Amino acid sequence: MEKQQEFVLRTLEERDIRFVRLWFTDVLGFLKSVAVAPAELEQAFEEGIGFDGSAIEGFARVHESDMIAKPAPSTFQILPWRAESPGTARMFCDILMPDGSPSYADPRYVLKRALAKSSDLGFTFYTHPEIEFFLLDSKPVDGTRPVPADTSGYFDHTPQAVGMDFRRQAITMLESMGISVEFSHHEGAPGQQEIDLRYADALSTADNIMTFRLVMKQVALEQGVQATFMPKPFSEFPGSGMHTHLSLFEGDRNAFHETGADYRLSKIGRSFIAGLLRHAGEISAVTNQWVNSYKRIWGGTQRTAGAGGEAPSYICWGHNNRSALIRVPMYKPGKTGSTRIEVRSLDSGANPYLAYAVLLAAGLKGVEEGYELPPGAEDDVWALTDRERRALGIEPLPQNLGEAINLMQHSELVAETLGEHVFDFFLRNKRQEWEEYRSEVTAFELRKNLPVL
């Protein structure tokens, strides 16, 4: 048996752990969990745990549903929120087919494949997410408007606010699970929080995001509130984005950096951005996968422009331009390692494995084909007129999920990256969501039409 496995089994014994949760993620990005007793774990390491894949969104159809979840002992963590003893622990799993080969339905494997491709080209892909979410008093399921847990604003540091306590406990818990936190503050809207995770390779980041969401919900519960990663719960407040800083390394060298170049951006960096821009439309259904995601992108950009209204609506890039889809942050002198680019379209409701996979693939496509980077946007693109934008060649992101689906379904890039199985499932599922939404009579219509028609 491997040492790591021994370590896990020994720890279970010593810490009196009664259950181990085996975690994996479905195609839509929901965390799934199978609890096993420590006694079953040894076998799980050897052979994995069989389960019925057809019960998991996007994994398998009924007749080919045998799947295996195989825990990765290196991801072993004791869960800090269950009262001391007896405790619970978790491990992430890889999903395998009955023959032991990795399942193409496993979002983790989608990302692993994309990373393997980038590694073939000599690159390592690092990501650094800034995750926004709301704390609410409760989560009503009947469609009524939720109430934010506080009324503070951007960077407010108010005594006794739920947020302060919440962030302290949340960060302690994250750190105790081995997830380093970079920065945290209150965001622009009431109840809104932002916590930045330290940069790490994309797979670790994605695992961390999955853990993060659960931890936030857990801590919120313990404080008597609710956490939501819904992209845009309030019409009048900014939505919850997951701006992510991306960088590529060639060995120890930052491949985006070139001393003396504009913005210190290398040829690779420029082509990578060009790739993200050119394919922004077709990957949109993955980076912004919900009907509600497009409310964040298009909702309230006029009202909340400037501080806080940080959702990009148009496909362009800029240097420190907060209205651009892609921002090249200010270069810190002497830090060649820190040259990076920030993608601002991603929202907190994305499946991080799939989203990072398509972002990486789009960027690498630009690098491989040597795309030319169009000129950067100097202005606030929200303030431009439609005609001005057209003159500058700046296209909008998809207006809604339906449009995003149509763009995605013709994308060889996305099909190749997600793999045909996930590609097919994802399109079907999203089309269904779009159709359900389309047939819904909304509060907007009732408010606008009912009184007058």
Partner 1 sequence: MPLGGRRDSRFGQLLRRGFTDPTDAARLLDAPALRSAAADGPLLDALAATADPDAALGALVRLAEAQPDGERAAFLDTLLAAKPLRDRLLAVLGASDGLADHLVRHPAEWRALVAFETADLHPGTEEFEAALADAADPDGLRVAYHRALLTIAARDITGTTDVAETAAELADLATATLRAALRIAAAAAPDDDAACRLAVIGMGKCGGRELNYVSDVDVIFVAEPADGADEGPALQAATRLAAHLMRICSDTTAEGTIWPVDANLRPEGRNGPLVRTLVSHLAYYRRWAKTWEFQALLKARPVAGDEALGAEYAAAVAPLVWQAVERENFVSDVQRMRRRVESSIPAAQAERELKLGPGGLRDVEFAVQLLQLVHGRTDPELRGSSTLDALAALAAGGYVGRQDAASLDASYRFLRTVEHRIQLRRLRRTHLMPTEEAELRSLGRSLGFAGEPVKELTAAWRRHTAGVRRLHEKLFYRPLLDAVARLDAGQLRLGQDAAKERLVALGFADPAAALRHLSALASGVTRKAAIQRTLLPVLMASFADSADPDSGLLNFRKVSDALGTSPWYLRLLRDEGAAAENLARVLSAGRLAPDLLLRAPEAVALLGAAEGLAPRPPAALAQEIQAAVGRADTAESAVAVARGVRRRELFRTAAADIVGAYAPDVAPHEAPGQALDRVGSALTALNAATLRGALTAATAAIGHRPPPARLAVIAMGRFGGHELSYGSDADVVLVHEPAEGADERAAAEAASAIANEMIRLLQLPSIDPPLLVDTHLRPEGRNGPLVRSLTSYAAYYRRWSLVWESQALLRAEPVAGDADLGRRFTELIDPLRYPVGGLDQDAIREIRRLKARMEAERLPRGADPTLHTKLGRGGLSDVEWTVQLLQLRHAHEVEALRTTRTRGALAAAVGAGLLDAEDAEVLDEAWVLASRVRNAVMLVRARPQDTFPADARESAAVARYLGYEPGTVGRMLDDYRRTTRRARTVVERLFYEG
Chain residues binding partner 1 by CB under 8 A are 1-4, 46, 61-64, 66, 70, 72-74, 96-104, 119, 122-124, 249-252, 415-416, 419-421, 423-424
Q: At closest approach, how far in Å is the CB of 446 from partner 1?
A: 35
Q: Which among 296, 435, 293 is positioned nearest to 351, based on CA atoms?
A: 293
Residue type for 419, please? Answer: G
What is the Cα–Cα distance from 353 to 109, expressed in whole angstroms? 8
Helix (H, G, I), strand (E, B) or coil at 103: coil
Q: Which among 190, 194, 189 is positioned nearest to 238, based on CA atoms?
A: 189
- Name which of 251 and 451 has its Cβ closer to partner 1: 251
* Structure tokens that stand for 90 in this block: 């978790």
- Name which of 256 and 294 has its Cβ closer to partner 1: 256
- The secondary structure of 304-368 as a DSSP string is HTTTT-----EE-EEES-TTSSEEEPPPPTT-GGG--EEE---BTTS-HHHHHHHHHHHHHHHHH
Q: At closest approach, how far in Å is the CB of 46 from partner 1?
A: 8
What is the Cα–Cα distance from 340 to 195, expressed in whole angstroms? 19
- Name which of 291 and 427 has its Cβ closer to partner 1: 427
How many CB atoms lie under 10 A from the CB of residue 336?
Answer: 15
Q: At closest approach, how far in Å is the CB of 229 from partner 1?
A: 28
What is the Cα–Cα distance from 207 to 201, expressed in whole angstroms? 10
Q: At closest approach, how far in Å is the CB of 212 from partner 1?
A: 20
- Name which of 70 and 340 has its Cβ closer to partner 1: 70
- Name which of 61 and 447 has its Cβ closer to partner 1: 61
Measured CA angle at 248 (ends 244, 250), to 5 deg: 165
Q: At closest approach, how far in Å is the CB of 439 from partner 1?
A: 20
- Name which of 124 and 169 has its Cβ closer to partner 1: 124
Q: At closest approach, how far in Å is the CB of 375 from partner 1?
A: 32
What is the Cα–Cα distance from 417 to 411, expressed in whole angstroms? 10
Q: At closest approach, how far in Å is the CB of 404 from partner 1?
A: 19
Q: Which among 199, 133, 206 is positioned nearest to 166, based on CA atoms?
A: 133
Residue 125 contacts residue 156 (beta carbons within 8 Å):
no
Question: What angle separates helix 352-369 from helix 202-222, to the nearest 10 degrees?
Answer: 150
Q: At closest approach, how far in Å is the CB of 426 from partner 1?
A: 12
- Name which of 57 and 137 has its Cβ closer to partner 1: 57
- Name which of 66 and 436 has its Cβ closer to partner 1: 66
